[in-house]
Amino acid sequence: MTQDTKTRFGFVALLGAPNAGKSTLLNQLLGEKLSIVTRKAQTTRIRVLGLLTEENVQMGLLDTPGLFKPKTRLEKTMVQSAWESLEGADAVLLLVDVSVRQPDVKSQDIVEALAQRGQKATLVLNKVDKIKAEKLLPLAENLQASGLFDKIFMISALTGDGVDDLKKHLLEAMPEGPWAYPEDQLTDLSERLLAAEITREQLLLQLHDELPYGATVFPENWETRQDGSVMVRQMILVAHVRHRAMVLGKKGSRIKEIGVAARAEMAAQFGHPVHLFLDVKVDEKWQEKQEYYRLFGLS
């Protein structure tokens, strides 16, 4: 980039129903894995900022929790966090999973909420490789009838089909202004929080059907050693005693597998060896405690 090239910077908010593919799209746009991805609904609980810098443009991509009708305090906080990502956003993407039977019904509440806010957005129809064209076009026309969308993209976030065109559109939409982050920075999340999310991903992947939604991972200690390795201690919190037994597995076999996979992922992500120590604790009311919300940036 030459000195006389004008820089551009802006934020892009990724909205959508649970499992619409926001985290997968974020990772695809970045070309690196940042957000955890599983098949379980509401995998994303916190706002994840991914930074994409190309030539003279820097974008802050905001991966948000899925939008749905919340019931618990935690769910309400997550949904609130997603809507708050619109504040200051220079572009808004609404992702719709077209592979489900009635994604138009599933996303209609979000469209109506955007309309109430007077919020324009770009419509991104995701997982188009899993639907026939004759079903896709009527869906696109139905959503476009709202008048909210400036443009429609049809993509597969998983394979990358159509993502380059979407990225080009977003880069061109960013306003002129100085970059807010160093060129080589990937996110504003601390390594401690990223490590906790990596372990939570393994919980969901390895205990997808058995483990209920009410489990989380708290970072307890992060110590850098003289040899460059890091000692990480984390607490896995579950809401019931029987869930603790599920996480531990027979003679501790399951938690050992979770730890091995999480440690390998952390080492690859952070670029140095990781010594991971996991404990499991039962706390029926962890979802009501303020320290969780503060730690993960939720209000």
| Burial of residue 99, with CB atoms counted within 10 A of its CB: 0-12 exposed, 13-18 middle, 19 or more buried | middle
Q: Residue 138: pLDDT band by 50, 70, 90 thresholds?
A: confident
d(CA 121, CA 15): 10
Q: 175-203 pLDDT, tens per residue?
A: 999 999 999 999 988 899 899 999 989 99
> Which residue from 82, 165, 58, 176 is spatially nearest to 122, judged by alpha carbons?
165
Instruction: Give me the chain's average pLDDT, please.
Output: 87
Q: What is the pLDDT of residue 195?
A: 93
- How far is the C-alpha of 245 from the C-alpha of 288, rounded, in Å? 23
Mean pLDDT of the region 61-73: 82
Domain 8-173 shares a fold with domain 191-295? no
Cα separation, 224 vs 245, in Å, equals 31
Contact 15, 176 (CB under 8 A): no
- Residue pair 231/263 in contact by the 8 Å Cβ criterion: no
Give the CATH fold of the 8-173 domain.
Rossmann fold (3.40.50)
As a whole number, mean pLDDT of residues 25-48 equals 80
Beta strands in the chain (DSSP E): 8-16, 48-54, 57-63, 91-97, 121-126, 149-154, 215-224, 230-238, 274-282
pLDDT score, position 286: 77
Residues 6+ away with beta carbon under 8 Å from 245: none
pLDDT band, very low/low/confident/very high, at 81 (cuts 50, 70, 90): confident
Q: Residue 265 contacts by C-beta under 8 Å, 6 or more apart in sequence?
A: 198, 201, 202
Position 71 scores a pLDDT of: 75
Q: Using the predicted structure, report yes or no on whether residue 139 has a pLDDT greater than 90.
A: no
Q: Is the separation of the CB atoms in 203 and 258 below 8 Å?
A: yes
Does domain 191-295 correspond to CATH entry 3.30.460.10? Answer: no
Question: Residues 6 or more apart from 158 whose CB is under 8 A from it?
Answer: 21, 24, 28, 127
For the segment 164-172, the average pLDDT, to the nearest whole number, is: 97
Q: What is the pLDDT of residue 297?
A: 63
> How is the chain split into domains, by residue range?
8-173, 191-295
Residue recorded with tokens 């490789």:
129
Q: pLDDT over 70 for what percent of the chain?
A: 89
Would you place residue 210 in the very low, low, confident or very high pLDDT band (cuts 50, 70, 90)? low
Q: What is the pTM of this model?
A: 0.84
Q: Which residue type is seen at 74?
A: L
Question: If you average pLDDT over residues 155-177, what whole number do you get?
Answer: 96
Give the whole-angstrom CA distance, residue 235 versus residue 194: 14
CA 167 to chain centre: 17
